[in-house]
Amino acid sequence: MIKVTIDDIEVEVEPGTTILNAARQIGGEVVPPAMCYYSKLPGTGGKCRTCLVEVAAGSTADPRPMPKLMASCSTAVMDGMVVKNKTSQRVHDNRGGVVEFLLINHPLDCPICDQAGECHLQDLGYEHGSAKTRYKEERRTFDPIDIGNKIKLHMNRCILCYRCVHVANQLTDSRVHGVMHRGEHAEISTYIENAVENDFSGNMIDVCPVGALTDKTFRFKSRVWFLKPMEAECSCTKCSGKAVVWMFGNEIYRVTARKDKYGEVENIEDKTAWICNDCRFDKKDVSAWNIAGPRKIDRHSVISQGKYATKIDKGLNKIG
């Protein structure tokens, strides 16, 4: 085990752990945000640059600071490393810069976006964004393409995290979509329309940090925060059948995988509980599911605001 200090908190981790995962072991505010890294998908990370942290001391053996900010998702910790995240003004400023970059071409159509409420970019913009944009030009747009009857691709919202590409690589037998073109014209595309069809392709929706990939069977049906997330299980031959059903009254509006506080699909019995497309898109009847009870949404986003005690509520209670 090796020792690493993040924002003045010391933690012992296995050798080879990344700074981000070491921070997640501490938890709370020292965890850098991650838009592209997804711990359940090997190979992700390094692209969005929101998880940049300052390494104030490389290791006990070589305590020199690292000159550049490091991507915490892909930098392994060393024994005696000192990392600054929340405590570094430089990190704060540069993360603000990255958020500004991510937002200059993002459409800001949150009022009509299905991801609103569970969007990582929304959270990030709330924490690090500025109230005004300095971008005077017209925002970049793409011609919409149809990638099938279950998944809606809204390329204008994409931040090119490559997570969905990794899902297709790792969960499905053949990847039929990918990134085309380069620079600011880079886009997720199938080249041949209607092509994304696979039993597990729906997981692309769950891993998408923004509203670029959304569920066509749920599109414009309801805001997520009006729905009640319930832990549910069904018998399924393709996947574990363990999911979250989002209900309004007695109706199931949508089905997603069970996600943890970082928005990642949970591990159940040491296996990431990806769900298959049948469970996700077709089982909308209550009788198909065995509903266990309310699902705790452990996030700071608006979904949890109405239903669960938030930090603000707790604070008010103390004052009251």
Q: Does 47 bind other proteins (CB under 8 A)?
A: yes
Residue 61 vs 319, nearer CB to other proteins: 61
C-alpha distances in Å from residue 89, one per residue of 53, 96, 183: 10, 10, 29
Residue 39 vs 94, nearer CB to other proteins: 94
Q: Judged by CB under 8 A, which of 100, 233, 251, 260 binds other proteins? A: 100
Tokens of 250: 């007695």
CA torsion, ordered 281, 268, 165, 74, to nearest 10 deg: 150
**What's the CA gap between 132 and 38, in Å, rounded?**
30
**Residue 75 corresponds to which amino acid?**
T
Question: Total residues contacting other proteins (rule CB under 8 A)?
Answer: 36
CA 127 to chain centre: 15
Residue 78 vs 257, nearer CB to other proteins: 78
**What's the CA gap between 95 and 121, in Å, rounded?**
12
Q: Does 58 bind other proteins (CB under 8 A)?
A: no
Residue 136 vs 311, nearer CB to other proteins: 136
CA 311 to chain centre: 21
Q: Does 56 bind other proteins (CB under 8 A)?
A: no
Q: Are 258 and 295 in contact (CB under 8 A)?
A: yes
CB of 193 to other proteins, least distance (A): 21
Q: Does 191 bind other proteins (CB under 8 A)?
A: no
Q: Does 49 bind other proteins (CB under 8 A)?
A: yes
- Sole window of 78-86, 130-138, 254-262, 307-315 interacting with other proteins (rule: CB under 8 A): 130-138
**What's the CA gap between 89 and 129, in Å, rounded?**
15
Q: 136-175 mask for other proteins (x: CB under 8 A)? A: xx--x------------------xx-x-------------
Q: Does 320 bind other proteins (CB under 8 A)?
A: no
Per-residue DSSP letters for 208-273?
-SSTTEEETTTTTT--GGGSEEEEEE---SSS--EEEEEEETTEEEEEE--B-TTSPBPEETTEE-
Residue 24 vs 49, nearer CB to other proteins: 49
For residue 19, what is the enclosing H or E element? Answer: helix 19-26
Q: Does 111 bind other proteins (CB under 8 A)?
A: no
Q: Judged by CB under 8 A, which of 16, 111, 185, 270 binds other proteins? A: 185
Tokens of 252: 């199931």
Q: Does 203 bind other proteins (CB under 8 A)?
A: no
Q: Does 78 bind other proteins (CB under 8 A)?
A: no
**What's the CA gap between 189 and 195, in Å, rounded?**
10
- Sole window of 142-150, 178-186, 252-260, 298-306 interacting with other proteins (rule: CB under 8 A): 178-186
**Residues of the shown chain interacting with other proteins in the complex, contacts defined by CB under 8 A:** 45-50, 52, 67-69, 71, 74, 94, 97-98, 100-102, 104-105, 134-137, 140, 159-160, 162, 178-179, 181-186
